[in-house]
Amino acid sequence: MSVISAHAQSNNLMLGYSGTGISSDLRRVMEIEKIWEKNGLNVKSIYFNSGSILTQAMLGGNIVVSDSGVPEMMTLPVSGAMETRVITVNINRLEHIFVTRKNISKPEDLKGKRIAVSRFGSASDLTTRMVLRSWKLDPEKEVMLLQSGNTPTRMSALLAGHVDGALVSPEGIHKVLASGCCRALADLSELPLDFARFGVTVPAALIRNQREVARRIVLAYVEGIYLFKTKPKLVFSVLEEEGIKDPAIAKDIYNRLSFSMREYPIPETNGIQNALDSLGHPNARNVKPAALMDTSVLEEVRKSGFIDKLYGRAPKNER
């Protein structure tokens, strides 16, 4: 019996995630409210310190659910290593802020500078390269990309002056700016771009062979998003666990993330395509978004009336 079927048939699921803050806050809300158990699932969450390591865990069968960055998980099917499907896109836009040291005031000032990413091939790396290219900078030739770890490590490197720029999550931006060392060069959420940034990816075999398990996973995330958007005090408690104790800062973070969370987290062609384009993989241009996503499970949940019943109306997405 495969690892996938063994996990799924017993409803015991190994879930992998990378990064802190944005992607983990929703899952923490779900854990506190026992949403997994409500849907008959026994989920064990495992932290990986970069998205590229998370993809290897999926490939090796160590996890059967990825709740993290969507782009890095796409590298598996795009490279031909493994057939996976995105089943929810919880946030369909870029959320990080590109932070630089104070001496850098415009994108062209980044030439020759050191920019931190998590690991090569991770979401932070892919996104950083995409943003640099949009600024007409060659990430291979005109800057130095350094592997330094997730947001907390990148923040420390910025504060110490070891690097000149990095992506920082909304939860970390206040601390960095308060130090006086740095500036927010660009808030990527302001870009008019659909981008499948955070969501849930599973092996295609799980949908084919254990569709009921896939449906329960989707049900859990839909309800988790509802709780996130309607129970701010619960989210504030999660942020406090992360060391964010200032009520004003917590409110700013909550408002931003609550706005970005999609009531109907359906994978959409434009967002998947833009995430696909960010990969820079030679096979990417030959892959269609439809081959990377499965909307049927979430559509089935929507048709059941479950989402409408939660909100007392039809769900709506800001993006």
Model confidence pLDDT, tens digit, residues 146-170: 998 778 888 899 999 999 999 998 8
> Which amino acid is present at 82?
M
Residue 182 vs residues 86, 158, 168, 186: alpha-carbon distances, Å: 36, 8, 11, 12
Query: For the ranges 26-40, 113-127, 234-248, which has the lowest average pLDDT?
Result: 113-127
% of the chain with per-residue pLDDT over 90: 76
7-26 average pLDDT score: 80
* Average pLDDT value for the chain: 92
Q: What pLDDT sits at residue 45? A: 95
- The total number of residues written for the chain in this structure: 319
Interval 46-57 mean pLDDT: 90
Task: Indicate if the pLDDT at residue 4 is higher than 70.
Answer: no
Q: Is the pLDDT of residue 8 over 50?
A: no
Q: Over the Cα atoms of the chain, what is R_g?
A: 19
Binned at pLDDT 50, 70 and 90, residue 138 comes out as: very high
pLDDT of 238 higher than 50: yes
Q: What is the pLDDT of residue 9?
A: 53
> Residue 81 pLDDT > 60, yes or no?
yes
Out of 5-14, 45-54, 254-263, pick the least confident. Answer: 5-14
Question: In this structure, which amino acid lies at residue 280?
Answer: G
Q: Model confidence at 281, in pLDDT bands (50, 70, 90)?
A: confident
Whole-angstrom distance, CA of residue 96 vs CA of residue 23: 12
Question: In the prediction, which pLDDT does 10 show?
Answer: 62
Beta bridge partners of 168: 97
Supply φ then ψ for residue 163, to 5 degrees: -130, 165
Give all domains of the chain, ordered by start, each with its CATH number: 3-93+195-311 (3.40.190.10), 97-190 (3.40.190.10)
3-state secondary structure of 86: strand
Give the pLDDT confidence score for residue 291 in this predicted structure.
97
Q: What is the pLDDT of residue 147?
A: 93
pLDDT at res. 3 = 47
6 pLDDT tier (thresholds 50, 70, 90): very low
pLDDT of 122 > 90? The answer is: no
Q: How large a percentage of the chain has pLDDT more than 70? A: 96
What pLDDT does residue 250 have? Answer: 93
d(CA 91, CA 113) in angstroms, rounded, equals 30
Split at pLDDT 50, 70, 90, the class of 52 is: confident
Which pLDDT band holds residue 1 (cuts at 50, 70, 90)? Answer: very low
Mean pLDDT of 102-131: 92
